[in-house]
C-alpha cells in the first residue's frame, strides 16, 4: 500500500529504489578493569587508533576535495584534540581499556557540548562519528558506514556523518533519507555538491524496512513508500521534464522578460572552481575563505599561501564577479589561535567580523593577500565581512579594507536581524549587501541551523525571513546599490523566483543547483515573480508561503 511521508527536501532530483540502512553504530564497549601494568600498552593502542582514524579522514578528504575536504580535515583535528587524548590516557591509567577510555572521554566531551544549549549540535554529530570509528578500530569490527551493495539503492540513516556523505558513489547511492539534519547541515550541503537527491528531518525514517521500495523527491521533501507504478511513472516523467529543461537552459540568469539575475557559485576554495565553471556560473557569490584557515587550527596561513589560493579562483573568472568573504571563525568553526574555548554561547559570542576586529593582524594579512592576488587580473573583486551587526561594524571593516590598499568593492553580510532592519544605515559605509539566509534564519527564529528538531524554523520560506530579505533589498535599491543572496535559500528554484520578486539582484548557490535555478527563472516574468513574492509574504507559515507562490506561478 502506497503511503506518503514528508521531510525537508535539500537536494534536487528524484530517486526510486530499495532501502538500505546505514551500518549500525558501534556497541558500547564493556567496562572492565585492566591491571596497572597493562595501562601503558593500552594507551599506545589508543594513540595508534586515533592516528589511524585521523589519517583515514584526511585521506577521504583528499579524495573528495572541495568543501568535503575541509569538513573531513576538521574531523581529523577533532580526533587528535590533545585535551581529549589526555582524558583518554587518564582514564586508561586508572584501569579502563583503550576502547572504554575513548568511549567515556568522548561521552564526557559530548555532554559539555550538548550542555551549551546544543549550539554545537553539528559538531556533536561529527564527534560521535569520530568516536565510533576509533572504537571500531580498537574492537576490530567493521567501521559503521555505508552498506556494501552491488545494486543501486536509497540510503536511509538516522544521520550521515561527513565522512560517509563525502564519498558516496552516485552510481550506487540513488538518494538518501535521514531522520536528523536540516537544510543547512553538512550532509545537506555535500549532497547538493554531489548532485544526489536527499531528504532530511524525516521522523520515523529508520522504521522503513530494509528492502522496501521508496521514491524520494528531493525538491519537495516527499517520500513515497511502496509507490504505485502510476506514481513511479509520474515522478520519472517529471524528472525527465526537468532534465530536458536544464539541457535547454544556457547563458546568463534572467527572467522570461529579460530582467537579469546573475547566478553565482558558492565555493570553498580552488577545488570547487571546475564544477562552478561547468555549471555556467557567472562568477562567485560566496568564497568561503575559512576552509583555507582550517588546514591548521593553530596558526593562520601565510600571506603567500593565501595569495596563491585566492589567485587560482580569481583567474578562473576573467571579467566575472568574485565575492570573497573574509574569515568567518567562531561558533561551529573554532580556530585555536583565534576563538576562545570557554564561550558559554559561541553562536552569540565573538565570531565573524568580531573575531577579526579583535585580531586586526589576521584581518590585515588577509586583506593584503586579496589585494595582491587581484593585481593585473581583469576580475571584479568584491570583499565582504560576515556577521555585521550595525553601521559601526561596517565602518570598521571598510576602514580596514582601505588601510590594506584593497581596490575592490567592500560589502556587508546580512546575517543578523539588526543588519536587515538598519540596512540603509549600513549601506552608508559599504557598497553592497549579501544575505546569508542560513544564519539570518538561525538568529531570527533562535533556531540552531544544525538541530533537526527546529528545522521548521530554519525553512527559508518563513514569511518573517522573507520580510527581512525585502527590507534589505529595498534599502539597497534606495541607495542605488546591490543586494544578493548567498545562503542556501538561493538553491531552491521556486524560492529563487520569489527572492527575485523581493528585489534581490543576484543569487549565489552550490554549483549543482545553478542549472535548476536558471531554467526555472527563465519561465517567469519579473512581474510574476513580484506577485509570487507578495503572495508568499501575505501568509503565516513556510508551507503556506511556498503553496501561495506556487499557485501564482502556475497560474492557479
Q: Which residues are catalytic?
A: 186, 486
DSSP 438-487: HHHHHHHHT--TT-GGGGGGG-TT-HHHHHHHHHHHHHHHHTT-EEEE-S
> What whole-number distance in Å separates Cα of residue 337 and Cα of residue 3?
52
2: Cβ contacts below 8 Å, ≥ 6 apart: 224, 225, 226, 227, 228, 231
- Residue 374 has, within 13 A of its CA and on its CB side, a CA count of 24
Task: Give ∠ CA 485-489-493 in degrees, rounded to 5.
Answer: 105
Q: Where are the beta strands (DSSP E) in 13-108?
A: 14-21
The conformation of residue 540, written as its DSSP 8-state character, comes to S
Among 388, 391, 400, 480, which Cα is nearest to 429's? Answer: 391
Maximal C-alpha separation, the chain: 79
Which residue, among 205, 148, 198, has the nearest Cα to 172 in the 3D structure?
148
User: What gap in Å lies between CA 517 and CA 507, rounded to an integer?
Assistant: 9
Residue 403: CB atoms within 10 A of its CB come to 13
Exposed, middle or buried, 364 (CB in 10 Å: 0-12/13-18/19+)? middle
Within 10 angstroms of residue 242's Cβ, the number of other Cβ atoms is 19
Residue 401, classified by CB atoms within 10 Å of its CB into exposed (0-12), middle (13-18) or buried (19+), is buried
The secondary structure element, H or E, covering residue 162 is helix 162-166
Q: Alpha-carbon distance 489 to 468, whole Å? A: 13
Exposed/middle/buried for 104, CB within 10 Å: 0-12, 13-18, 19+?
middle
Amino acid at each position: 500500500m502506497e503511503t506518503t511521508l514528508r521531510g525537508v527536501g535539500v537536494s534536487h532530483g528524484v530517486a526510486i529504489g530499495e532501502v538500505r540502512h546505514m551500518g549500525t553504530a558501534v556497541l558500547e564497549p564493556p567496562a572492565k578493569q585492566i591491571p596497572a601494568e597493562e595501562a601503558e600498552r593500552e594507551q599506545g593502542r589508543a594513540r595508534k587508533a586515533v592516528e589511524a582514524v585521523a589519517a583515514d579522514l584526511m585521506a577521504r578528504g583528499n579524495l573528495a576535495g572541495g568543501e568535503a575536504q575541509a569538513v573531513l580535515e576538521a574531523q581529523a583535528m577533532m580526533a587528535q584534540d590533545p585535551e581529549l587524548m589526555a582524558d583518554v590516557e587518564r582514564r586508561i591509567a586508572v584501569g579502563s581499556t583503550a576502547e572504554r577510555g575513548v568511549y567515556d572521554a568522548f561521552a564526557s566531551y559530548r555532554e559539555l557540548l550538548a550542555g551549551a544549549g546544543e549550539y554545537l549540535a553539528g559538531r556533536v554529530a561529527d564527534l560521535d562519528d569520530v568516536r565510533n570509528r576509533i572504537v571500531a578500530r580498537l574492537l576490530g569490527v567493521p567501521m559503521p558506514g555505508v552498506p556494501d551493495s552491488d545494486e543501486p539503492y536509497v540510503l536511509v540513516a538516522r544521520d550521515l556523518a561527513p565522512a560517509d556523505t563525502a564519498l558516496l558513489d552516485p552510481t550506487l547511492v540513488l538518494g538518501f533519507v535521514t531522520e536528523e539534519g536540516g537544510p543547512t547541515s553538512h550532509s545537506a550541503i555535500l549532497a547538493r555538491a554531489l548532485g544526489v537527491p536527499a531528504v532530511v528531518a524525516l521522523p520515523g525514517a529508520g522504521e522503513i524496512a530494509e528492502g522496501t521500495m521508496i521514491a524520494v523527491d528531493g525538491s519537495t521533501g516527499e517520500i513515497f513508500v511502496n509507490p504505485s507504478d502510476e506514481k513511479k511513472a509520474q515522478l520519472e516523467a517529471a524528472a525527465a521534464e526537468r532534465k530536458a529543461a536544464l539541457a535547454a537552459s544556457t547563458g546568463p540568469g534572467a527572467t522570461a522578460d529579460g530582467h537579469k539575475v546573475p547566478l553565482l557559485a558558492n565555493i570553498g576554495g580552488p577545488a570547487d572552481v571546475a564544477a562552478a565553471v561547468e555549471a555556467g556560473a557567472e562568477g562567485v557569490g560566496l568564497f568561503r575563505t575559512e576552509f583555507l584557515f582550517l588546514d591548521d587550527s593553530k596558526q593562520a596561513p601565510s600571506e603567500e599561501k593565501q595569495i596563491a589560493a585566492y589567485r587560482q579562483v580569481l583567474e578562473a573568472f576573467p571579467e566575472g564577479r568574485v565575492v570573497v568573504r573574509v574569515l568567518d571563525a567562531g561558533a561551529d568553526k573554532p580556530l585555536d589561535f583565534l576563538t576562545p574555548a570557554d564561550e558559554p554561547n559561541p553562536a552569540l559570542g565573538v565570531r565573524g567580523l568580531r573575531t577579526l576586529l579583535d585580531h586586526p593582524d589576521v584581518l590585515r594579512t588577509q586583506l593584503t593577500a586579496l589585494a595582491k592576488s587581484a593585481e593585473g587580473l581583469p576580475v571584479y573583486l568584491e570583499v565582504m565581512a560576515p556577521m555585521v551587526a550595525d553601521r559601526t561594524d561596517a565602518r570598521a571593516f571598510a576602514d580596514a579594507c582601505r588601510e590594506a590598499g584593497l581596490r575592490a568593492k567592500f560589502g556587508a553580510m546580512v546575517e543578523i536581524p539588526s543588519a536587515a532592519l538598519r540596512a540603509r544605515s549600513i549601506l552608508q559605509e559599504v557598497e553592497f549587501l549579501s544575505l546569508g539566509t542560513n544564519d539570518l534564519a538561525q538568529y531570527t527564529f533562535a533556531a540552531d541551523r544544525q538541530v533537526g528538531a527546529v528545522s521548521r524554523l530554519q525553512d527559508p520560506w518563513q514569511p518573517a525571513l522573507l520580510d527581512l530579505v525585502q527590507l534589505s533589498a529595498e534599502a539597497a535599491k534606495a541607495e542605488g546599490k546591490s543586494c544578493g543572496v548567498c545562503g542556501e535559500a538561493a538553491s531552491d528554484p521556486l524560492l529563487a523566483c520569489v527572492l527575485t520578486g523581493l528585489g534581490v539582484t543576484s543569487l549565489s548557490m552550490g554549483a549543482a543547483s545553478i542549472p535548476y535555478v536558471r531554467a526555472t527563472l527563465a519561465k517567469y516574468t519579473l512581474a510574476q515573480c513580484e506577485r509570487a513574492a507578495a503572495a508568499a509574504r501575505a501568509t503565516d507559515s513556510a508551507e503556506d508561503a511556498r503553496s501561495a507562490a506556487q499557485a501564482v506561478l502556475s497560474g492557479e
